Amino acid sequence: MVETIQWVDGAVVMIDQTRLPLEERYVTCRTYREVAAAIRDMTIRGAPAIGVAAAMGVALGVLRASEDGLAAQMEEICATLAATRPTAVNLFWAIDRMKRVYRGVSGKPIGEIRRRLVEEALLVREEDIAICRAIGRNGAVLVPERKTVLTHCNAGALATAGYGTALGVIRAAVEAGKQIDVFADETRPFLQGARLTVWELQQDGIPTTLITDNMAGHFMKSGRIGCVVVGADRIASNGDVANKVGTYSVAVLARENGVPFFVAAPISTLDLTLASGAAIPIEQRAAAEVTHVFGQRVAPEGTVVENPAFDVTPARYVSAIVTEKGVARAPYEESLKKLVS
């Protein structure tokens, strides 16, 4: 399986997801500002992977910080990383976790502070892989035999430290001997489905068919799709799910066609401070992602563009939320709280 992000000799090495699948290039970040830039420009993307990158970014920042005024530098490091992408709550979860560790050792010798923060960042990465495997195990039983699983965007090894959430469920179902295949939505405009999901599943030998986003309804109506499994960037306490834009349309189509719609995500993606998805901040990205395809303009000059990177699927369309701690079903106010406690 591909290494999404690693800590190598005091630097953060990530596979460049803007170049895949045409080029397998690794980027080395030596400063926290480089990590922040990599999150912002989507060299690394996907909620759990962003969380791991942020944790490593904090560790890197403190590793390079001077002993004088360390607390102020720590503030600056965390604020810079937090300002990269607003929707995936894993980013803020990871930064808060690193802040807590810092508070626990502040005042200790700088060497010890650095060692603890690097240790914690490595732990965030390691835990993420184990969490994805647990999500996979919990979700595999939900996947119907001899059917097609439809997924949107990339919630795979590349979106996590390894194995994936939605693709973790698919991998675990295949490992359990289920005979399934996958339909991957291409996922305009960034094409995470076409570029990343297909590439990843091909490496595992899982039969995968690429479809454009607007074909999903056609195939759901045909009866071929046994279930939909997607990831999430933030889940509110009522079970509303923010995920890659287009997920909402897929969920509505699934309901209309009687196809179960599953969301696979770690507990760190839950934001139980929010009453509903209406409070989830939605990232707006550059117009060029829509007007251009691989640097080639496809819309006329002066085109007015909207480019929300995420949408919110109301909880009523969600058949189940699969986490590492178990599977939640409606009413989510109760089931999610129970999982967390």
End-to-end CA distance of the chain, in Å? 33
For residue 106, the minimal CB distance to ligand MRU (Å) is: 32
Query: Is 233 among the catalytic positions?
Result: yes
- In angstroms, give the least distance from the CB of 52 to ligand MRU: 11
Return the range that interacts with ligand MRU (CB under 6 A); candidates 22-30, 157-165, 250-258, 319-327.
157-165
Determine the Cα–Cα distance for residues 95 and 197; give it in Å rounded to an integer: 27
Contact 218, 259 (CB under 8 A): no
**Which run of H or of E encompasses 264?**
strand 261-264
Task: Please choose, out of 65-73, 153-161, 215-223, 296-304, the segment that lies near ligand MRU by the rule CB under 6 A.
Answer: 153-161
Nearer Cβ to ligand MRU, position 155 or 315? 155
- CA dist., res. 226 & res. 183, Å (int): 11
Which residue has its beta carbon closest to ligand MRU? 231
Q: Should residue 309 be labelled a site residue for ligand MRU when binding is judged by CB under 6 A?
A: yes
CB atoms within 10 A of CB 150: 27
Amino acid at 71: A
Q: In what order do the strands lie in the sheet with 208-211?
A: 208-211, 181-185, 148-151, 225-230, 261-264, 320-323, 326-328
**Where does this chain touch ligand MRU (CB under 6 A) — which range of 93-101, 105-113, 120-128, 158-166?**
158-166
Which of 269, 201, 222 lies closest to 241 in space, CA to CA?
269
Is residue 170 close enough to count as binding ligand MRU by CB under 6 A? no
Q: Looking at beta carbons only, is 47 or 336 nearer to ligand MRU?
A: 47
158 binds ligand MRU (CB under 6 A): no
Q: State the catalytic residue, choosing from 128, 185, 233, 240.
A: 233
Binding site for ligand MRU (CB under 6 A): 45-48, 88, 153, 155, 159-160, 165, 192, 231-233, 243-244, 309
Known catalytic residues are 233
